[in-house]
Amino acid sequence: MSAPIPYTQFDPTSYLLLTPEDSDAPARVARLRELGIGDTPVPEFDDFARELARITGAPYAMVNFIDENRQYFAGLYTPGEGQSGVELDPQQAQPGRVMSRDHGYCPHVIVRRKALVLEDVCDYPRFAGNPVVDEIGIRSYLGAPLIDHTGMAIGTICVVDQEPRPWGRQGLETIKSMAAQLVEGINQRDLGLRR
């Protein structure tokens, strides 16, 4: 007769809300330092985020770099009252540029190394409990990883909305194409730094 299996308490929802483990974070931080990005706003990334918002029709767009503990939006576009977008001071980080690593969906994208389309985050138990749903009112997300020429996933680009959005296949193709475009610029920047 076999020994009884020890009882362990199981919470079926506990795994749903966890931010994925990111074993590449230390190497990513070192890579971002080499590139000189990830700690301050970059005007070109703000311009890119503005264009990404325009192309997708989303009210918010980000170029995001993630370390062990936080996310930093080196490129950010947000709507302003009566404006097409908020102009941010590129010389210093403004409130809203930093978010905890356990908030949002970009940490999932960077670990998965694949684009993520959430037309309504509330349709996905794994993502519906994320703090950004209740704290910011995020209802839809579209993001893709930035994988540079070294093969490192160095960051993400994303758009979000406070309403469900039917991103569809066109949205997926757009975000992947835009990520490839930004990666090309980052690779060029890297080659320029090495010269």
Domain ranges of the chain: 21-194
Expressed in angstroms, the distance from the first to the final Cα of the chain is: 71
Average pLDDT over residues 129-140: 86
Q: What is the DSSP letter of 167?
A: -
Q: Band of the pLDDT at 193, cuts 50, 70, 90? A: low
In this model, does residue 82 exceed pLDDT 70? no
pLDDT tens digits for range 10-35? 334 444 446 788 999 999 999 999 99
Q: Which CATH architecture has domain 21-194?
A: 2-Layer Sandwich (3.30)
Q: What is the DSSP letter of 110?
A: H
| Distance of alpha carbon 102 from alpha carbon 99, whole angstroms | 8
In this model, does residue 126 exceed pLDDT 90? no
What pLDDT is stored for residue 10 in this prediction?
A: 37
- pTM assigned to the model: 0.82
Is 179:172 a contact under the CB 8 Å cutoff?
no
Q: Which comes out higher in pLDDT, residue 4 or 151?
A: 151
DSSP β-bridge partners for residue 145: 156
Average pLDDT over residues 144-155: 96
Q: What percent of the chain has pLDDT over 90?
A: 62
